[in-house]
Amino acid sequence: MTATALPHEVTGQTLLELDGASLTIRDALEVSRRDRVVRLSEPAARAVRASRRLKHELIDREIPIYGVTTGFGDSAHRQISPAKAGRLQQNILRFMGVGTGPIAPPEVARVTMLLRANCLAKGNSGVRVGLIEHLLELLNHDVTPYIPERGSCGASGDLAPLSYVGRALAGDGFVSFDGERRPASEVLAALGIEPFMLEAKEGLALTNGTSFMSAFACLAVGAARELADLADLMTAMASEALIGNRGHFNAFLFDQAKPHPGMVTSARHIRELLADSRLVADSDELFPGGLNGAGFRELDRHVQDKYSIRCAPHVIGVLRDVIDWVEQWITIEINSSDDNPLFNVAGGRVESGGNFYGGHIGQAMDSLKVALANLCDLIDRQLELVVDEKFNRGLTANLIARFDASHPEAGLHHGFKGLQLCASAMTAEAMHLCAPTTIHSRSTEAHNQDKVSMGTIAARDARSIVELAQNIAAIHLMACCQALELRGVDQASPRTEDAFRLVREHIPFLDRDRYLDEDIATTAALIGSGAMSEFVG
């Protein structure tokens, strides 16, 4: 790294060294939160230098090398002289600067930069060490490019989005710095960083890959795991609010009878969360005694709770098991050479292929979308049980505060009615977004990219469902806390009561109708921080 980079000893960030092979999703999430400072490892730097040497040897032989001494895509049959190779790389940033739509959040841009650097650090791309160091220098200063989200089919990688990363390195376009949108040239000058001039292959190496879609994927799967923990917590809280049957989560049903790993984990979490609760009882505790000689009796409660409570581990467990294999695929992807062509140093040749193709990320995100949308539906159904006086076992209609019939406020308030409407609407939107994206391939780029992955759109949709799920969960968490307070939170288990207390530090009891949009946003932010999932496991 250059002298202007912020040392981790000063910033308090921990050091992350990139070697192109061992980056984890957790590393990416920590970089997204600015908890790490990043540099290139020395072994990786040696591999990078070796591939660049091979690149120049092959260029000097004046053989056609795709995207290096030929045009791009369908223009690959047009060879140029080595003298023009650098200018060609500048031009890919220009003609691919076609992004539209909203600007990707800073955390997405940070992870995108990290993943692009790690791909190049693998030492197969023929770039200079200085290019990677320049990219990491901007990342460590939290100079993030403005990247429009739309414009990638996920075929030849994320060409359009990643071109904005290259623009920032060149001191062109706009970046975010100190929370402001500023010209890249102005920020680089203020930091004493020279704009980076690309040489042969470097523009293509920056743009030709899956780093943008993989950034969304890392963030989506990280949030999804926290949502799974939160769903376990809310299931326990809802079970208590509904005076439920904790026997539905007994170990025999899962560890022995049907041991899908995700189900086993969620059932254990809920079982442990309900330990010592005085609001729930096990199956054999619900109905002491027998018929005492009678031929029939009407029970005062059902032997089994509704599916959205009883079968919660079976829904949340699917999400957990999907996350496990999705994480494996993402981890392979972010530690791969995903550009083209690649330089085979051991074989002494250049290799053209399709490693930029986002098929695994697209399929992983389509699967994650469905599991997340099912989770949204589960949460929405639990919410219905808690707020509906027909099902909530003596709680108030819409969880309104209890008023005596003679109280002047009696009959005026509607409590969680609007919140349930909002949750249902967002659940419907999540279900709409979970339709598979990867099957909608579009032939493009003069029929050269005739089968594309659509991975970027799938990953962006997964991010959108995560955001919807966090807001749906925020409403249900607020409802569970309201219900427990009406029921008597002092009878809840110690762990669910601790979760309740944390929410109450941010959101007060709903004692009368008030605007609730800010309450939703505050609770969703609390969920997004990961604080609620800490009560689980």
Give the catalytic positions in this structure: 66
Query: Residue 407 in 3-state DSSP?
Result: coil
Measured CA to CA, the distance from residue 127 to residue 254 in angstroms comes to: 52
377 Cβ neighbours under 8 A, 6+ residues apart: 427, 430, 431
Measured CA to CA, the distance from residue 246 to residue 385 in angstroms comes to: 16
Measured CA to CA, the distance from residue 90 to residue 170 in angstroms comes to: 9
Give the burial class of 263: count Cβ atoms within 10 A of its Cβ; 0-12 exposed, 13-18 middle, 19 or more buried.
buried
Measured CA to CA, the distance from residue 167 to residue 172 in angstroms comes to: 5
Length of the chain: 537
Type of residue at 65: I
3-state secondary structure 458-478: HHHHHHHHHHHHHHHHHHHHH
Measured CA to CA, the distance from residue 72 to residue 92 in angstroms comes to: 8
Radius of gyration of the chain (CA): 27
Tell me if the bond preceding 341 is cis, omega within 30° of 0: yes
DSSP calls for 334-375:
HTS--SSSEEETTTTEEE---TT--HHHHHHHHHHHHHHHHH
Type of residue at 449: Q
Type of residue at 7: P
* Strands laid side by side in the 180-183 sheet: 144-145, 174-177, 180-183
Measured CA to CA, the distance from residue 470 to residue 517 in angstroms comes to: 14
Type of residue at 96: M
| H-only helix segments in 141-183 | 159-169
| H-only helix segments in 155-281 | 159-169, 184-191, 202-207, 211-241, 251, 261-273
87 Cβ neighbours under 8 A, 6+ residues apart: none
Q: Cβ–Cβ contacts within 10 Å for residue 504, how many?
A: 13
Asked if residue 94 lies in contact with residue 81, where contact means CB atoms within 8 angstroms, the answer is: no
Asked if residue 430 lies in contact with residue 399, where contact means CB atoms within 8 angstroms, the answer is: no
Query: Residue 41 in 3-state DSSP?
Result: coil
In eight-state DSSP terms, residue 325 is H
Host H or E run for residue 40: strand 36-40
Angle at CA 123, nearest 5°, toward 120 and 128?
65
Q: Which of 175, 161, 206 is nearest to 455 (CA)?
A: 161
